[in-house]
């Protein structure tokens, strides 16, 4: 009996092994994407890509693959990664009449806790409806009306930074940028702050959000494993899944609380949405919950990430740091003068912000779309339907085919396009907020916050990045970068 069981087990194992081997042979030699370059194992099976995501190394590995294989790399049997500007137009731009848009990969962008889709994950028709409603809240005029709120938190951030620096002799500036961007978005999304800046500490809900980003990656990868994937996901991701559920419940409760206010007179996201929500084309309660949950991730951590990266690179480039602080302090004689209008006109500040988004774009995994049935032409080549295509802008901005001296922090490349050093830069590849009808709706808010919070910080303080944070940029990526503390010492500017 034991011999028969052993024989049967070996037979089943042999069948699976032969099937796996046969699939690998097909993927390498007969697959419709066989002509695209890439490492043998990555072309044969999805396992190397899955492992890169699970270990947080996908951004680094993608950089290495494009450095070796060029502008288009086959990163899995049915997946291509691009780093050239034409990909933005072909994949993310508006499609010709009669051609379906390239949809998002729902394994990454769908929210398993939500009863409805959000602005990021919604299919075409729902996305257009949601975007029309939220576009009012994120328009330039609406955001300028929020300037007192933004200024309030920028001033509070500067004061609290100094307070903690005097007490501890240093601060983790990543924390303070997170405290500020989350408090601002909470006011906009729920009509009340989280109080993190006031306490100079995280609320448990925000810590859950950071863990939830890992859950999204783990879930997407594990569900891609045939048969065993759902079981593995259930067994190994239960803790992360519970945190994701807690995050969604918390956001939903805050939305319900905000919607219950009948005398709410402060402009926020919902005041604009509700104003246009009675024509039969509004948001359902479930869609409101899903979008609030999304905004608390997409509109916060990414901006804080980029601000932290800019501070790190300023610390490594003293001439750039000196030129920037000189511009800020010469432009504004008092802190109250630092307002949105003048900030938008400051050449070097805006060049620093642009360069920060180039060299340290907040996500290292790229933006993924699925080619619709019938296929499409991408960068001059036919790509069959069902293919997953990624525009990896993190890699694109660091590749020498797109930018000269790509891994150096040089804001001047945006100021002097005729400079021979940067004449070959392909600025058309630079789209840090994505491209086309699904580009980031919060782009205007993010740019306002980047300019305001950076200027306030550098107007009040001279900053020294401490030696213990020298290797800060060695980070893993799970949709966004997993950042350690960035310890800096602040010296108040004497006036």
* CA end-to-end span of the chain: 89
Residue ranges at the known binding site for heme: 440
Report how far apart, in Å, the C-alpha atoms of 157 and of each of 11, 162, 180, 193, 195 are: 65, 9, 7, 14, 12
CA distance 328 to 350: 11
d(CA 85, CA 391): 9
Q: Are strands 480-482 and 476-478 parallel, antiparallel or unpaired?
A: antiparallel
List the one residue out of 334, 389, 386 whose CA is nearest residue 366. Answer: 389
Structure tokens at 478: 């799970």
Q: If you ran DSSP here, which 8-state letter would residue 480 be given?
A: E
The Cα 301–Cα 209 span in angstroms is: 9
Q: In this structure, are residues 47 and 74 in contact, taking their beta carbons and an 8 Å threshold?
A: no
Alpha helix segments (H runs only) across 267-388: 269-275, 285-298, 301-316, 318-331, 340-344, 347-359
Provide the token pair at 181.
């961007």
User: H helices within 169-268, ranges in order?
Assistant: 173-190, 196-199, 204-222, 228-236, 238-259
Asked if residue 400 lies in contact with residue 96, where contact means CB atoms within 8 angstroms, the answer is no
- The residue among 161, 451, 463 whose CA lies nearest residue 331 is 451
Six token digits for residue 227: 């048969």
Can you tell me the distance from the alpha carbon of 206 to that of 186, in angstroms, rounded to the nearest whole number? Answer: 11
| β-strand pairing of 388-391 with 367-370 | antiparallel
Give CA–CA dist 325/336, Å, rounded: 17
Q: Please count the other Cβ atoms lying within 10 Å of the Cβ belonging to residue 37.
A: 13
Task: Give binding residues as ranges.
Answer: 440
Is residue 166 packed enough to be buried (19+ CB in 10 Å), middle (13-18) or exposed (0-12)?
exposed
8 Å CB contact between 449 and 183: no
Beta strand 461-465 with 487-492 is antiparallel
Q: Which two three-digit tokens encode residue 27?
A: 């993927």
């Amino acid at each position: 009996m034991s011999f028969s069981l052993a024989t049967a087990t070996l037979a089943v194992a042999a069948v699976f092994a032969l099937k796996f081997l046969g699939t690998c042979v097909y993927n390498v030699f007969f697959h419709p994407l066989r002509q695209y370059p890439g490492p043998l194992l990555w072309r044969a099976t999805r396992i190397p890509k899955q492992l890169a995501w699970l270990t947080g190394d996908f951004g680094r590995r993608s950089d290495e693959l494009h450095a070796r294989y060029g502008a288009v790399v086959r990163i899995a049997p049915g997946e291509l990664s691009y780093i050239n500007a034409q990909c933005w137009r072909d994949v993310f731009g508006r499609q010709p009449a009669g051609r379906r848009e390239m949809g998002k990969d729902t394994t990454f962008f769908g929210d398993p806790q939500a009863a409805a889709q959000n602005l990021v994950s919604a299919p075409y028709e729902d996305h257009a409806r949601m975007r029309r409603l939220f576009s009012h809240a994120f328009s330039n005029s609406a955001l300028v009306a929020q300037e007192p709120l933004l200024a309030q938190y920028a001033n509070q951030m500067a004061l609290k930074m100094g307070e903690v620096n005097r007490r501890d002799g240093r601060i983790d500036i990543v924390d303070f940028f997170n405290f500020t961007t989350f408090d601002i978005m909470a006011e906009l999304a729920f009509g009340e702050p989280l109080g993190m800046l006031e306490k100079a500490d995280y609320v448990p809900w925000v810590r859950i959000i950071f863990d939830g980003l890992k859950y999204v990656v783990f879930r997407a990868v594990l569900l891609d494993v045939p048969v065993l994937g759902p079981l593995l996901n259930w067994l190994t991701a239960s803790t992360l899944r519970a945190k994701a559920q807690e995050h969604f419940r918390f956001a939903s409760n805050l939305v319900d609380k905000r919607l219950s206010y009948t005398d709410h007179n402060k402009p926020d996201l919902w005041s604009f949405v509700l104003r246009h929500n009675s024509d039969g084309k509004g948001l359902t309660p479930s869609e409101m919950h899903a979008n609030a949950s999304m905004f608390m991730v997409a509109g916060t951590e990414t901006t804080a990430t980029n601000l932290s990266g800019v501070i790190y690179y300023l610390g490594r480039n003293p001439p750039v740091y000196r030129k920037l602080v000189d511009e800020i302090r010469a432009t504004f004689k008092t802190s109250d003068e630092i307002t949105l209008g003048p900030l938008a006109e400051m050449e070097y500040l805006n060049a620093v912000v642009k360069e920060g988004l180039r060299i340290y774009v907040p996500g290292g995994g790229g933006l993924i779309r699925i080619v619709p049935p019938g296929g499409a032409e991408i960068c001059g080549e036919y790509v069959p339907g069902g293919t997953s295509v990624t525009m990896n802008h993190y890699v694109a901005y660091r590749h020498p085919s797109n930018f000269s001296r790509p891994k150096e922090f040089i804001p001047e490349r945006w100021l002097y396009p005729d400079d021979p050093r940067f004449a070959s830069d392909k600025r058309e590849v630079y789209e840090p907020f994505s491209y086309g009808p699904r580009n980031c709706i919060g782009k205007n808010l993010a740019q306002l916050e980047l300019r305001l919070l950076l200027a306030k910080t550098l107007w009040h303080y001279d900053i020294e990045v401490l030696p213990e944070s020298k290797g800060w940029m060695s980070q893993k990526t799970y949709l966004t970068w997993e950042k350690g503390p960035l310890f800096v010492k602040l010296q108040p500017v004497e006036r």
